[in-house]
Amino acid sequence: MPHPVALFPWRILTVVGTTCLLMSCGGSPPTAETSPVEVSASEAATAESTNTEVAPAEVAPAAPEPTTAPVQTAPPATATPPATAVALELGESRLLTPAELGWVERNLPVAERQINPDQSFWVNLRDMGEVAFVLTEAVSDPSIAVNDLAIYLLLPDGTLLEQLPTNLDSDAWMLWETQAVSFWMYQGYEVVVVIADYITGVGPTGSEPFPVTTIYNNAGGYFLMDEVASRMLTDWGTSTVGEALDMLQTEELGYLP
């Protein structure tokens, strides 16, 4: 007996076609329609989102680059010595202070000389004003002794005014020690007395110190050595300033009228 399905082939096709129509035969399912109001609201939100300006992030101002302060260089050292506490009267003197000794070292136009701080003075001299009277001792070999003496006058601006004349009688001897320096003014005389010990360095008494006196006279802005008085006082064995002043006032030397 024939199969019942074969008798109604068009019904199967109809069912299949209806199924294909409902499923769109592999197409996409229908999309739900959106309300125009919802679309407008959505589009407006999208537009607002798109057009909203975003404020730029605040950027902290950059810190200024550190600047290096210019190096403050010390002003050039002045030649003027430290001011004296009290102005000196004519003929008055005082020892140089440590600061003034440093000033002398920077301005003294000679090298290899040792300043004697016990015999260097700030003094007010006639026709010169206040000057530094600097007594120096050259050192040929620091392990032994100094061997000569030199005296310099420095103006307050550091200029060398004068190197006092050397006592030539002592050139053959070696300086042992400077004993005294004195500035003496009396009745118009302005005299500098320098007493120093020397040794001959030879013979049985070569190491025995003996005094040598040198007399300088202010000739009006500069000093001259009185060779005659210097030799006589040395020959007499003058060893103190008091002895030297007494002998200068004798009739033989006649320093005072």
The yes-or-no verdict on residue 195 having pLDDT over 80 is yes
What's the pLDDT at 183? 94
Q: Is residue 192 a part of any domain in this protein?
A: yes
Higher local confidence (pLDDT), 28 or 198: 198
CA-based nearest residue to 198, from 233, 170, 234 = 170
Distance of alpha carbon 50 from the chain centroid? 70
CB 79 within 8 A of CB 158: yes
Give the C-alpha separation, 34 to 39, whole Å: 7
Q: Tell me what percent of the residues of the chain surpass a pLDDT of 90.
A: 42
DSSP string, 17-80: HHHHHHHGGGSPPPPPPPPHHHHHHHHHHHHHHHHPPPPPPP-PPPPPPP-PPPP-PPPPPPSS
Higher local confidence (pLDDT), 229 or 2: 229
Q: Is residue 214 a part of any domain in this protein?
A: yes
Higher local confidence (pLDDT), 14 or 238: 238
Q: Is residue 218 a part of any domain in this protein?
A: yes
Residue 171's domain comprises 93-248
Q: Is residue 61 a part of any domain in this protein?
A: no
CB 191 within 8 A of CB 181: no
**What's the total number of domains in the chain?**
1
Q: Is residue 36 a part of any domain in this protein?
A: no
- Segment 15-43 shows an average pLDDT of 42
Q: Is residue 179 a part of any domain in this protein?
A: yes
Collect all residues with Cβ–Cβ distance below 8 Å to 176 and sequence separation of at least 6.
145, 196, 197, 198, 199, 209
Q: Is the pTM of this model over 0.75?
A: no
Q: For 61-114, what is each residue's pLDDT tens digit? A: 555 555 554 444 444 455 677 766 568 988 899 999 999 999 999 999 887 789
Q: How confident is the model at residue 8 (pLDDT cuts 50, 70, 90)?
A: very low
What's the pLDDT at 87? 84
Q: Is residue 1 a part of any domain in this protein?
A: no
Mean pLDDT of the chain: 75
What is the number of other CB atoms lying within 10 angstroms of the CB of residue 65? 5
Q: Is residue 58 a part of any domain in this protein?
A: no
Q: For 199-225, what is each residue's pLDDT tens digit? A: 988 888 888 999 999 999 999 989 999
